[in-house]
């Protein structure tokens, strides 16, 4: 089944921020379900739609009959770029209400599913409590909960120290350097595409998200979450602490929950030869689970 050409539109928040939304739909066999995909702090929406081989998560889900949306959060890509220190987990969670409303209006579906990667999942944990009435099911991909993986904690502390010295709001994006050593089996062309996207479209990223991850990670309370939730992590994660992932699973306040550990995968399954297929199939499974 073919996928319709992407449709792009903008949503404005109560504070005047504009966020770009990309939509992909199937031409027929619509399952009457919609999903919103939320990126993490080191990259924008584009890794949900890698234009190589079968790597596009958006095309896969739309081809299965779903109405698929991806948001470009404030501070990234073509969306508004306010002061970088104001772009926090809390402000990004508040931004999602008008996005949910816009998707509800466009799709004519009352409750949508959501998937968030890395800090995008941390944002969703907050939104799932505040805006529960909009949500059907939720997938958290490589998302920390209360404790950060030691490797990421050390990286974060170094990043914050550099930021404190420079006083900058937007910092140079260097997370893609040496990425080959922090990936499972992968296609060099896909990795080259990703690195080019970082250099050309996401070379500067807001520091506020990283500061609030450092300050607020332990304040999350999954016990208040009633939305059915799937946790998806790689077995070699360097952002998520695996014991912390089990704590998240235990704490989730919904009885409908699950955990998938993708073998030989790290933090960016979108880019990995096997894991990208496991990721998209897991998302579709959880969305359509009865």
Would you write out the chain's pLDDT as a tens digit for each of its 290 residues? Answer: 467 678 999 999 988 999 999 999 987 778 899 999 999 999 999 999 999 999 999 999 999 999 999 999 999 999 999 999 999 999 999 999 999 999 999 999 999 999 999 999 999 999 999 999 999 999 999 999 999 999 999 999 988 888 887 788 999 999 899 999 999 999 999 999 999 999 999 999 999 999 999 886 667 789 999 999 999 999 999 999 999 999 999 999 999 999 999 999 999 999 999 999 999 999 999 999 98
7-288 fold: Rossmann fold (3.40.50)
Residues 6+ positions from 38 with CB-CB distance below 8 Å: 70, 71, 73, 96, 114, 115, 116, 117, 120, 121, 123, 124
> Would you call 230 exposed, middle or buried from its count of C-beta atoms within 10 A (0-12, 13-18, 19+)?
buried
- pLDDT at position 216: 66
Cα-atom radius of gyration of the chain, to the nearest Å?
Answer: 17
- CB 49 within 8 Å of CB 85: no
Q: In what order do the strands lie in the sheet with 7-12?
A: 7-12, 18-24, 67-72, 34-38, 112-117, 135-141, 229-234, 257-262
- pLDDT at position 68: 97
Q: Could you tell me the pTM of the whole model?
A: 0.96
* Count of all residues that appear for the chain in the document: 290
């Amino acid at each position: 089944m073919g996928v319709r050409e992407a449709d792009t539109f903008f949503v404005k928040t109560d504070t005047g921020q504009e966020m770009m939304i990309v939509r992909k739909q199937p031409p027929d066999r619509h399952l009457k379900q919609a999903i919103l995909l939320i990126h993490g702090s080191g990259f924008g929406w584009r890794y949900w739609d890698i234009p190589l081989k079968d790597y596009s998560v958006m095309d896969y889900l739309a081809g299965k009959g779903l109405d698929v949306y991806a948001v470009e959060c404030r501070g990234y890509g073509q969306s508004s770029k306010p002061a970088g220190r104001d772009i926090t987990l809390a402000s990004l969670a508040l931004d999602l209400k008008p996005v949910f409303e816009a998707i509800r209006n466009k799709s004519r579906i009352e409750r949508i599913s959501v998937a968030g990667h890395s800090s995008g999942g941390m944002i969703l944990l907050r939104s799932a409590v505040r805006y529960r009435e909009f949500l059907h099911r939720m997938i958290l991909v490589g998302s920390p909960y209360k404790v950060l993986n030691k490797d990421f904690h050390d990286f974060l502390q170094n990043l914050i120290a550099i930021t404190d010295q420079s006083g900058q709001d937007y910092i140079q994006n260097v997370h893609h350097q040496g990425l080959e050593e922090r990936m499972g089996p992968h296609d060099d062309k896909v990795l080259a595409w990703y690195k080019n996207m970082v250099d050309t479209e996401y070379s500067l990223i807001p520091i506020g998200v990283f500061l609030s991850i450092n300050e607020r990670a332990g304040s999350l309370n999954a016990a208040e979450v009633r939305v059915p939730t799937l946790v998806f992590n790689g077995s070699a994660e360097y952002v998520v602490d695996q014991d912390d992932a089990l704590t998240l699973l235990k704490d989730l306040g919904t009885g409908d929950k699950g955990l998938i550990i993708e073998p030989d995968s790290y933090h960016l399954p979108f880019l990995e030869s096997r894991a990208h297929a496991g990721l998209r199939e897991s998302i579709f499974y959880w969305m359509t689970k009865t």
